[in-house]
Structure 1
Amino acid sequence: MLNNDRLLVQILLLALLGASLWVLAPFWSALFWASVLAFASWPLMRWLTHMLKGRESLAAAILTLCWIVLVAVPLVMLGYNLADHIRDATGLIKNLQVTGLPAPPAWLANVPLVGDRLVSLWITIDQQGAAFFASLRPYFGQVGNWLLERSAQVGGSMLELALSLVLVFFFYRDGPRLAAFARSLLERLIEDRADHYIHLISGTIQRVVNGVIGTAAAQAVLAYIGFLIAGVPGALLLALLTFGASLIMFPPLVWAPAVAWLAWNGEVGMTIFLGIWGVLIISGVDNILKPYLISRGGNLPLVVVLLGVFGGILTFGFMGLFLGPTLLAVAYNLVTDWVAHGQPKFETETGVVIRSTDQPPS
Structure 2
Amino acid sequence: MAAEKQKIGSSHWVLIIALLVSAMACYLLIEPYVNSIVMAFIISLLMFPVHSWISQKMPSHPNYASLLSCVILTVIVVIPLTIVFGAIVQQGSKFSQNLYHWVTNGGIDSFFNHPLVVKAVDFSNNYLPFNPLNPQEIGDKIAKFSTSFGTKLVGISAKVLGDATNFVVDFFLMLFVLFFLLRDHEKVINTLRHIVPLSRSQEDKLLIEIEQVSKSAVMGSFLTAIAQGIAGGIGMGIAGFPGLFWGTMMGFTSFIPVVGTALIWLPATLYLLASGDINWAIFLGIWSIAVVGSIDNILRPFLMQGSAGMNTLMIFFSLLGGIQLFGLIGLIYGPLIFAITVVLFKMYEEEFHSFLNWQDKN
Say yes or no: TM over 0.5: yes
Deviation at 1:336, TM superposition (A): 2.8
Relative to structure 1, the CA distance from residue 43 to residue 269 in structure 2 (aligned partners, 3 Å threshold; closer, same or farther) is same
Give 1:277's aligned amino acid: W
TM-score by structure 1 length? 0.67
Q: Which moved more, 1:321-330 or 1:309-318?
A: 309-318
Task: Return the match for 1:40 from 30, 33, 46.
Answer: 46
The residue that corresponds to 1:101 in the other structure is 104
Q: Deviations over 1:17-73 (max 9, x none)?
A: 222211111101111111111111211211121123343222322322222233233
**Matches of 2:249 and 2:62 in 1, distance apart?**
30
How many Å separate the matches in 2 of 1:164 and 1:255? Answer: 33
What is the alpha-carbon distance in structure 2 between the residues aligned to residue 357 and residue 9 of structure 1?
Answer: 36
CA distance in 2, matches of 1:100, 1:340: 67
Query: Aligned partners of 1:248 and 1:161: how far apart in 2?
Result: 24
- Offset from partner CA, 1:276-301 (integer Å, 9 cap, x none): 53466425632542133212585333
2:310 is the alignment partner of 1:304: no
CA distance in 2, matches of 1:341, 1:5: 28
d(CA) in 1 for partners of 2:263, 2:89: 13
Give the stretch that moved more between structures: 105-114 or 169-178: 105-114
- Tell whether 2:29 aligns with 1:20: no
2:182 maps to 172
* 1:206 pairs with 2:215: yes
Unaligned runs of 5+ residues in structure 2 are 1-5, 122-134
**Segment drifting more, 306-315 vs 41-50:** 306-315
Q: Does 1:190 align with 2:181?
A: no
Query: Pairwise CA RMSD of aligned residues?
Result: 5.1
Alpha-carbon distance in structure 1 between the residues aligned to 2:309 and 2:235: 36
Cα deviation, 1:299-328, whole Å, max 9, x if unaligned, reads 333433333233222322222222222211
d(CA) in 2 for partners of 1:230, 1:91 = 18
Change (3 A) 1:207 1:255: same
Gaps of 5+ in 1: 119-123, 346-354
1:334 aligns with 2:340: no
Q: Secondary structure of the residue that 1:114 maps to in structure 2?
A: helix
Contact 2:308–2:342 (CA under 8 A) maintained in structure 1: no
Aligned twin of 2:127: none
Counterpart of 1:77 in structure 2 is 83
* Whole-Å separation in 1 of the counterparts to 2:291 and 2:161: 29
CA distance in 1, matches of 2:328, 2:303: 17
CA contact (8 A) 2:213 2:307 kept: no
Higher mean displacement: 5-14 or 207-216 = 5-14
Between the aligned partners of 2:354 and 2:16, the Cα distance in structure 1 is 36
Question: Structure 1 8/47 Cα, relative in aligned 2: closer, same or farther at 3 Å?
Answer: same
CA distance in 1, matches of 2:284, 2:179: 41
Q: How far apart, in 2, do the equivalents of 1:91 and 1:226 lie? A: 21
Counterpart of 2:198 in 1: which secondary structure? helix
Task: String of CA shifts for 1:250-277, please: whole Å, max 9, x gaps.
Answer: 7969976x959x96x9866335533553
Q: Distance in 2 between matches of 1:238 and 1:201?
A: 35
The residue that corresponds to 1:219 in the other structure is: 228
Aligned residues: 329
> Using a 3 Å threshold, how does the CA distance of structure 1 residues 82 and 217 change in structure 2: closer, same or farther?
closer
Classify 1:184/1:101 alpha carbon distance in 2 versus 1 (closer, same or farther; 3 Å).
Answer: same
Contact 1:34-1:167 within 8 A present in 2 as well:
yes
Partners of 2:225 and 2:252 within 8 A in 1 = yes
Cα distance change, pair 231–65 in 1 and its aligned pair in 2 (3 A): farther
Alpha carbons 1:31, 1:167 under 8 Å: kept:
yes
Q: Contact (CA 8 Å) 2:254, 2:261: kept in 1 or not? A: no
Amino acid across the alignment from 2:117? V
Cα distance in 2, alignment partners of residues 66 and 190 from structure 1: 36
With over 3 angstroms needed to count, the CA separation of the structure-2 counterparts of 1:311 and 1:28, relative to structure 1, is: same
Distance change (3 Å), C-alpha of 1:336 and 1:7: closer
Quick one: percent identity of the two aligned structures?
Answer: 20
TM-score by length of 2: 0.67
The aligned amino acid for 1:331 is T
- Counterpart of 1:344 in structure 2 is 354
